[in-house]
Structure 1
Amino acid sequence: MKKIDITMCLKFGLMAGLVLYSVAKTGTPSNLLALIEILAVYVLGQILPQKIKILSYIISSVLYFLILMNMMVFTFSNSFTTLLMFDNIENVSALSTSLPLYISGIVLIAILALLPTRYGSIKTGYSRAISVTFIVLFYAAATLITRQTPLMAGVNLVENIRLKNQQMAKFRLSPAEKKKIYQKFEKTSFSDDYPETQKQPNVIVIFTEGLSAKVLDVNNNKDYNLTPNLDELASESIDFTNYFNHTAATYRGIRGQLYSAYQYQEGYEDGISDISKITDTKLQSLPMILGDNGYTSRFINAEPYQAVFSKYLSTLGFDKVISNKKKLVSSTHYLPDKDNYNLVFKTAKQLSKSSKPFFISTYTYETHVGLNTKVKYGDGSNEYLNKFHNMDASFGEFYKKFKNSDLAKNTILVFTTDHATYPDPEYVKLFDDPRDVFISQIPLLIKYPNAPGQRLDMKGRNSLDLAPTVLDMVGINSGKNYFLGTTLFGEQKSNLENLTYIAGVPSTTDDGDVKAIPVNSTLGKEALEYSKISFNN
C-alpha cells in the first residue's frame, strides 16, 4: 500500500507540475482549471464501483492522458488542439527537429497517465452524491468562465470533426448544381489599373513559410536588426501595409493565392491518395493564365520527398516543378533557404536566355515552426530569431545578385508568405502580436523595375488579391477566371477581400480589425458556396 501511495504522490505531483509549467509559460491563468479537472477525473475513479476498478483505471488513464496532451499542445501552440492541427497530422514530419521533443513529451504523458492509483474508495451514497455534485458544478462553472478545459476542448474537437464531415457530405454536388456555382463566380476579365511600362516582364513570387509582417524590423519597434535585407527591399518596393492572409495553412495558402480562391480543406485530409483528382476543377491559376499568354513557368519545391506536397504542387499549373536534391538537409530532406534562393536565381538566369517571359515561384521552408538553423542570431540561443535571421540572410544574398544582374531590368520581384506566423507563445512574446487566431498582417513587397519605393495602406484587404495584382502589373486584363479578389491598385473591391476563411471559419479584417463573424453570415455562406467548386469533391 505504501508503494501505491508513493506512486500516487509522484503521479499527481508531476501532473500538477506540468500544468503549472504550461500556465507559467503561456501566461494563461484560466488553464489552472486543468488542475481541478484532474481532481474531477480522480473523483470519478473513486465513485465508480470497486468491482470495475480495471475499467475505472482504463477510463481514468485515458482522461488523464487527454488532459495532459491538450496541456502540452497549449504549451507549444497557445491553444488546445484545433481542427486545423488535427487535419495537419498528415504533415507531422514538418515539425522536423522539434519532433523528438514532442514524441518525448507524449511518452512522458502516457507514462504518467498509466501510473496506478486507488479506485472505488468512495462507497457511501452521501459521499457519491457530493462527488457527483462537485463534478457537475465544476463543469458548469468552467463553461461560464472560459468554455474551455482540456477535456472540453477535446469534446469540441470531436464535434468540429463531426461537423466538418457533415459539411463535406454536402459538397458532393450534381454536375448541374456545380454548373450554377461556376456560372455565379465566372469572370472574363481582370482589372487594368497599374500603369505598367514593361511589356510582359518576368515574374518571381516568393512564398515564405509562416511570416507575419511584424517580424520585419520595418514593422516593429524591437531594434532586433533581424531583417536588414528585407527592410532594404521594402524601401525599394511597393510595400502593401495592413494586408492580411486570407486563409491558412500552407496548402490552402499557396493554392489560395495562386487561384485567388478559398478551399474548405487543405486537400490531403481523409487519406486522399491522389490529390490531382480533387484539384481537377475549372478554376484557373496564375501560372495557367500566364502560360496562356506566352509565359514559361517553374516552381521550386523545398520538399521534393514530401510525396503529398510534391503532387499538390504539380497540380497548380506550372510547366515544371523542380528542386535540388543534392542540397537537401540529410536528416529531414528539405531544401535550405539559401540553396532554394540559389536555385531561383540560377533558374531565372537560364530562362532569361529565352525570348519567352518567365514566371518562377517558390516556397521557402526554414521559417517553419519547430525548426532551428545553422545561421545564428546573436548567441544563437533563440530558435525563432535564428530562423528569421537566416531567412533574411538567405534572401539578402539572392537580392544582391538579383539587383546586380540584368534580371532587375525586366523582372517583377514579389516577396510574401503562404500565411501569417502561427501565434505560439514564443512568437507572441518576441513580436508583441497577441492573438488566438491564425490571422495577421503579412508582408507583400513588390519590386517593379525602375519604380520608386512607396507604402500603400490596404485597410485590411487580403491575399485573395495577389494573383489579380500580378496580372495587372504584367498587363494581362482579359481571360476566363474564377478569382475572388481584384488588383490592389484598383478602387473597386470584391466583397470578400476582407474575409479570412480557414477550415470553414470566417473572420473579417476591415480596416485592420480582426473580427469573427457567424458561419451562416452572408460572407460566410458565399465563401462556403465557393468551396464547393474549389475542389472536385
Structure 2
Amino acid sequence: MRSFGRVSGFLGNSRVLLGIYALLLLAGMVASYALSWRRNGWPEDIASVFGLLAPSAAEALLFWCIGSLLIGRRGLRRHPLRTTLFAATTLVFSVLMPAQCYALLYSNSFISVLALENVASAHLSADIRQPLLIAAAIVASVVLVVLCRFGTPRDRPSRPWRRYATASFAVVCAMTAFTANRASPVADGAGGLQPGQSPVTALLLTSWQKWQLYHYDAMSGGSVDDDAPYPYLKDWVNREPLPFAGKPPVAQPNVIVLFIEGMSARTLEPYGSTYPGLTPNLQALARDTMVVDNYYNHTAATYRGLQGQMTSGFPRYGGSEGGQGWLEGRNADSYAKRSYSSLSGVLGKAGYHTVFFAPHPSVSALNDLIAMLGFDELYNRERSVKALLGNDPVQPFIRNALTDHDLFLALRRYLERNNGKQPLFIGLYNIGTHAFMDVDGHGEKYGDGSNHSLNTIHNLDAQFGRFYRWFARSRYADNTLLVFTSDHAHYPEPTYVQAARDEHAGDDEYDPYFVDRIPMFVRAPWLEMPPRFDAHDRTSLGLAPTVLSLLGIDRARNSFIGQSIFRPYDRGDPGLRIAPLGPSVYAIHDGHVYAPGKIPTAMAARYEHEVARARQYHALESEGRIFPARGAGQSGAPAAAVFPAPAK
C-alpha cells in the first residue's frame, strides 16, 4: 500500500504528468521521423540526425517549461486564467505535433503554404486516419488539463530561482526552434525534412507566410511603374520560323492538347524509366512523335498550371488561398471576369471551335476558369455522361469525378460524332493520376499493386492507349496536332519519391520538388520533326506560343510572356528559368532545380530579377492590365469592369 501511495502521489504531481505527456509527444515525432526515413532514406550521418531531432526536442522541452510556469507552485486550482492558458498551450502542441506527424508520413513533408492553398482539394486524398488522430490528440489534451487542474502538487517552499531557470529554458528553447526553422524554411512542394525544421514552429512560420501571401496584393499594389496600360500587349507570337520542314494539311489541322494531371517525365519509359511495362502505350506514342526533353513545369498546382500554360503567364491565384482562391466564396465569379489572351482565344479567332473536357462535376470553380480561358464548350462529368456516354457503361466515379477510362472514351465519342465543318481545338484534363490516389477495381494496377503512384501512371497509360489506338486509325490521324503534356510535375508524395529513387539507387539525381521535368510528346505528321528535341530547360510558360508555332500562327494579338521552346536562345541569355509556387519560387538552370533558399550565389542576381518579373505580372493582373477586355481598345477599362460573366 505504501508503494502504491508513492506511485499515486508521483502520478498526481502535475509537473510529472506534464513531463510524461511531453515525452510522449516527442516519442511520436521521433517515431514519425524514423518511419519517414525508413521509407525515403536514412540521414547520412549522426550530425544530420541531431539536426533533425534537436529542434523537436527543444519544442517538447518548451512545452514542458511553459506548462510548468503556468502550473506554478500550488497548481491550477482556483486560477481560471492560468488554467485557460495551460489548456490553450496543451491543445496547440497536442494538435499541431500529430498533424505534422501525419503530414510527414503522408506527403513526405511538413504542411506548406501550397498544401494550405489546396485544402479544398483534400477530398482527393481523404483518409479517416487524419481526423481520428486529431480527435485523439484533442481528447488527450483535455485529459491532461483535467488531471493537472485537479492534481495535488506538493506545496514546496517558494524558490524563485526555479521559476527563473524554467523561464530561461523556455526562452532558449523558443529561440533555438525559431532560429533553426528560419534557417530551413518549409518550401512549397519540397518533399522531405531539412535539418532545423520542427513541427510547431514550422507550422506557425508557414501560417505567417500564408498571412503574408493573403495580403500580397495590398503590399504589392502600385508597384508597377509603366506608362503603357497593357505592358505585355503585342501583335506577334513568334518571330522565328519553325525549325522543321513540312507541308501543312490543306485545311486547318485540328489540335488536341492533353494536360495529364501531375505527371513527371522521369517515371515514363520514353524518358528512361527502368520500370518494365509501366507505360507501353507512351512508348508507342513516342515512336510516332517528337519527344521533348528537359522541359519543366513553370508553376503548380492545377489551377495555376492550366491557366499559366493556356495564357503563357504567372497566375497569382490557385485553388484555395485562405479566402482568395478560385474555390472559395464567390472568387471564381470575380476572377472569371478578368481578361487574358489565351491559346483557345487565339485559335477561336482563327476559326477553331474550342472544347474542353474535364472530369469534375458541374459545380466546380474549374468550369469558371475554363470559361475565362475562352473555350466555346465544356464537357464536365454530367454533360459527358448525358451527351456522349449514354450508350456506354459508365464506371463508378472516382472521388466524384469521371475515371480516366470514361474521360478518354467521352473524347473519342465526341470526335466520332463531329461533323468536321470547323477545325477543332480540344483541351483535356484528367484526375486519375492525382497524388495520394490509387486505382480502383476498374483500373489497371502495376505489378503487385503495392505502389499507388505507379498504379495511377500505369492505368493512365492503359486508358490513353485505348484512345490512341483508335485515334491512329481514325480520320483525325493525318490532320491533327496532338500534344501530350501535364499540368505540372508529380507531387513528391512518399510512394512517388520511393519509386523515383528506387530507379536510381545510389544516385542523388532526384530532389523531391514539385518542380521537375514534365513530358511533352508532339505528333504532327505533316512536319519533318526529329525523334527527340532538347528544350534546354524551357518551361511550360511557353506552351501557348509553342503550339501556335507548330500551326504556323506567328501573328496574333496577345499578352504572352513566354516564348516557343523552338526559339533559339538569345546571345547572353543565362538560361535561368523560374517556377513560382505561391510564395516559393524555384529556379531551373542547366538541368537542375534549385529550391528557394538554395539558389547558388552566382545566379542570385538573375534569380531576383526573374522573381521581380513574376511579381510584376501579379501586380498587373490584380489591376486588370494583362490584356484588354472584350470591346475595349488598348487603353480600355480594366477587364473586371467590362468583361461579362461567362456562362455556367
TM superposition score normalised by structure 1: 0.90
Q: Is the 8 A contact 2:309 2:540 kept in 1?
A: yes
Written as runs of structure 1 = structure 2, the 5 A alignment for 1:239-250 is 239-250=291-302
The equivalent of 1:106 in structure 2 is 134
SS of residue in 2 equivalent to 1:115: helix
SS at match of 1:185: coil
- Please list, as runs of the form range in 1=range in 2, the aligned pairs for 1:106-505 lying within 5 A after superposition: 106-116=134-144, 119=148, 124-142=159-177, 143-144=179-180, 146-170=195-219, 180=227, 182-191=229-238, 192-194=240-242, 195=244, 197-199=247-249, 200-266=252-318, 269=321, 270=323, 271-325=328-382, 326=385, 327=394, 329-330=396-397, 332-351=399-418, 353-374=419-440, 375-432=444-501, 434-435=510-511, 437-449=513-525, 451=528, 454-492=531-569, 498-505=577-584
Moved more, 123-132 or 442-451: 123-132
Moved more, 114-123 or 40-49: 114-123
* The 10-residue stretch of structure 1 (266-275 or 77-86) with the greater mean CA deviation from structure 2: 266-275
2:62 paired with 1:40: yes
1:51-130 aligned at under 5 Å gives the runs 51=79, 52-95=82-125, 98-116=126-144, 119=148, 124-130=159-165
- Structure 1 stretch 137-146 or stretch 415-424: which is displaced more? 137-146
How far has the Cα of 1:236 moved from its partner? 2.4
Is residue 29–residue 97 contact of structure 2 (8 Å, CA) maintained in 1?
Answer: no
- Candidates 524, 528, 532, aligned match of 2:619: 532
The superposition leaves residues 322-381 of structure 1 with CA deviations (integer Å, 9 ceiling, x where unpaired) of 134344634731110111111122222333x22311011111101112211132222222
What is the alpha-carbon distance in structure 1 between the residues aligned to residue 538 and residue 308 of structure 2? 15
Task: Give the Cα–Cα distance (whole angstroms) in 2 for the partners of residues 140 and 8 of structure 1.
Answer: 22
SS in 1 for 2:405: helix
How far apart, CA to CA, are the structure 1 residues paired with 2:364 and 2:574?
36
Residues 496 and 479 of structure 1: CA distance in aligned 2, closer, same or farther (over 3 Å): farther
Work out whether residues 324 and 343 of structure 1, in 8 Å CA contact, stay in contact via their aligned partners in 2: no
Q: Which has the larger radius of gyration?
A: 2
Deviations 1:154-207 (A, max 9, x none): 221222123213321145569xx7984653211211115224522421111111
Comparing 317-326 and 114-123, the one that deviates more? 114-123
Tell me, in whole angstroms, the C-alpha distance in 2 between the residues paired with 1:349 and 1:85.
Answer: 40
Of 507, 511, 514 in structure 1, the residue corresponding to residue 586 of structure 2 is 507
C-alpha displacement of 1:114: 3.5
The verdict on how the C-alpha distance between 1:492 and 1:349 changes in structure 2, with shifts beyond 3 A counting, is farther
Q: CA deviation at 1:10?
A: 8.2
Q: Which residue of 1 aligns with 2:506?
A: none
Distance 2:279 2:617 in 1: 37
Question: Displacement of 1:445 after TM fit?
Answer: 1.1
CA distance in 1, matches of 2:453, 2:514: 18
What RMSD in Å do the two structures reach over aligned CA positions?
Answer: 2.9
Distance across 2 between alignment mates of 1:463 and 1:257: 6
> Which moves more between the two structures, 22-31 or 411-420?
22-31
- Letter aligned with residue 443 of structure 1: P
> How far apart are 1:527 and its partner, in Å?
0.9
* Structure 1 residues 124 and 205, CA gap change in structure 2 (3 angstroms): farther
Equivalent residues of 1:279, 1:536 under 8 A apart = no
Tell me if structure 1 keeps the 8 A contact 2:404–2:460: yes
Matched residue SS, 1:388: helix
Deviates more, 1:233-242 or 1:16-25: 16-25
Counterpart residue type for residue 414 of structure 1: V
- Structure 1 pair 240/423, CA: closer, same or farther in 2 (3 Å)? same
SS of the counterpart of 1:521? Answer: helix
Query: TM-score, normalized by length of structure 2?
Result: 0.75
Report the Cα distance in structure 2 between the residues aligned to 1:94 and 1:369, rounded to whole angstroms. 8
**1:213 aligns to what SS in structure 2?**
coil
SS in 1 for 2:300: coil
Question: More displaced, 184-193 or 33-42?
Answer: 33-42
- Report the AA paired with residue 109 of structure 1: A
CA distance in 2, matches of 1:31, 1:305: 45
2:12 & 2:467 partners in 1: Cα distance?
Answer: 63
- Deviation per CA, 1:385-426: give whole Å up to 9, x if none: 211111111111111111111211111111111111111222
| CA gap 1:45/1:436 in 2 versus in 1, 3 angstroms | farther
Gaps of 5+ in 1: none
Alpha-carbon spacing, 1:268–1:141, altered in 2? closer, same or farther (3 Å)? closer
The one-letter amino acid paired with 1:533 is L
Amino acid at match of 1:406: R
The percentage of counterpart residues that share the same residue type is: 27
Instruction: State the distance in 2 between where 1:324 and 1:305 align.
Output: 7
